């Protein structure tokens, strides 16, 4: 049996420099699912101290409902509010743009005056910059303006700035 030349024994391709992740931010943490068991335990304690006995159905229902709803929210947040930057692309939620489309990074907003780029469309499929994230102004090809966003916006800004400067002649 021969092995593929450009991959491992299973045919998977080795990561290239272009696909190297320079910045990653997950949308939400699965640790929030612990709220379900905590809610169930809380209901069991309330039942016990309230004199209602040891009926486990109510705590079990709370555990399942809270865990289920939070799982849906965490999954959605991990899809729609995650950020990934490679040498060739920036992914904000489900929208992917090429780094070649970014002409320049606008300076960080300071002072009381709101920069024009802050009214630009936020990248991704959400209607604006997600809560808890800070926008980063981008001038794109075709005289377009958009906002990238991240919780750790200064780290993303520095990485984007470096990539754009590398591509500028």
Count Cβ atoms below 10 Å from residue 127 Cβ, excluding itself: 8
Distance CA 140, CA 24 (A): 21
- The pLDDT value recorded for residue 19 is 78
Asked whether residue 153 is domain-assigned, the answer is yes
Asked if 155 and 99 sit in the same domain, the reply is yes
Residues 62 and 125 in one domain: no
Domain count, the chain: 2
| Residue 12 in this model has a pLDDT that exceeds 80 | no
Count of residues making up the chain: 169
Whether residues 105 and 160 fall in one domain: yes
> What does the pLDDT read at residue 1?
44
Same domain, 54 and 105: no
Cβ proximity of 159 and 148 under 8 Å? no
> 102 and 75 in one domain?
no
Regarding whether 161 and 99 lie in a shared domain, the answer is: yes
Assigned domain for 17 exists: no
Structural domain containing residue 52: 27-80
Residues 6+ apart with CB under 8 A from 98: 88, 89
Asked if residues 8 and 14 have their Cβ atoms less than 8 Å apart, the reply is: yes
- Please tell me whether residues 103 and 147 are part of one structural domain: yes
Sheet holding 144-150, edge to edge: 102-105, 134-140, 144-150, 121-122
Query: Which of 26-30, 52-56, 59-63, 95-99 has the lowest average pLDDT?
Result: 52-56
Residues 67 and 117 in one domain: no
Residue with the two structure tokens 């799982």: 71
Per-residue model confidence as pLDDT tens digits over 107-138: 998 878 888 999 999 999 988 999 999 999 99
Average pLDDT over residues 96-111: 92
pLDDT value at 8 more than 80:
no
- Of the chain, the percentage scoring pLDDT greater than 70 comes to 89
What pLDDT shows up at residue 53?
A: 79
Residues 58 and 35 in one domain: yes
Share of the chain above pLDDT 90, in %: 71
Q: What is the pLDDT of residues 45-72, one digit of tens each?
A: 999 898 877 788 999 999 999 999 999 9
Q: How confident is the model at residue 2 (pLDDT cuts 50, 70, 90)?
A: very low
How many C-beta neighbours within 10 Å does residue 156 have? 25
With respect to residue 22, please indicate whether it lies within any of the assigned structural domains.
no
Mean pLDDT of the chain: 88
Report yes or no on 74 lying in a domain: yes
Report d(CA 55, CA 159) in Å as an integer: 55
Q: Residue 121: inside a domain, yes or no?
A: yes
Please compute Rg for the chain using Cα positions.
23
Q: Are residues 160 and 108 in the same domain?
A: yes
pTM of the predicted protein model: 0.76
Question: Residue 107 domain-assigned?
Answer: yes
Contacts of 148 (CB under 8 A, 6+ apart): 83, 90, 92, 123, 135, 136, 138, 156, 160
> Is 117 within the bounds of a domain?
yes
- Evaluate whether residue 46 is within a structural domain: yes
Residues 117 and 157 in one domain: yes
């Amino acid at each position: 049996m021969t092995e593929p030349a450009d991959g491992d024994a299973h045919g998977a391709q080795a990561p290239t420099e272009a696909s190297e992740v320079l910045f990653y931010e997950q949308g939400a943490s699965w640790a929030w699912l612990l709220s379900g068991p905590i809610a169930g335990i809380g209901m069991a304690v309330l039942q016990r101290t309230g004199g209602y006995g040891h009926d486990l159905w109510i705590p079990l229902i709370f555990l399942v409902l809270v865990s289920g709803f939070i799982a849906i929210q965490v999954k959605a947040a991990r899809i729609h509010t995650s950020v990934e930057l490679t040498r060739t692309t920036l992914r904000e939620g489900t929208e992917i743009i090429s780094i070649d489309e970014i002409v320049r990074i606008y300076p960080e907003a300071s002072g009381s005056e709101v920069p024009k780029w802050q009214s630009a469309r936020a990248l991704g499929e959400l209607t604006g910059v997600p809560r808890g994230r800070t926008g980063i102004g981008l001038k794109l090809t075709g005289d377009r303006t958009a906002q990238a966003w991240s919780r750790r916006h200064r780290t993303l800004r520095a990485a984007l700035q470096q990539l754009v400067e590398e591509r500028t002649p």
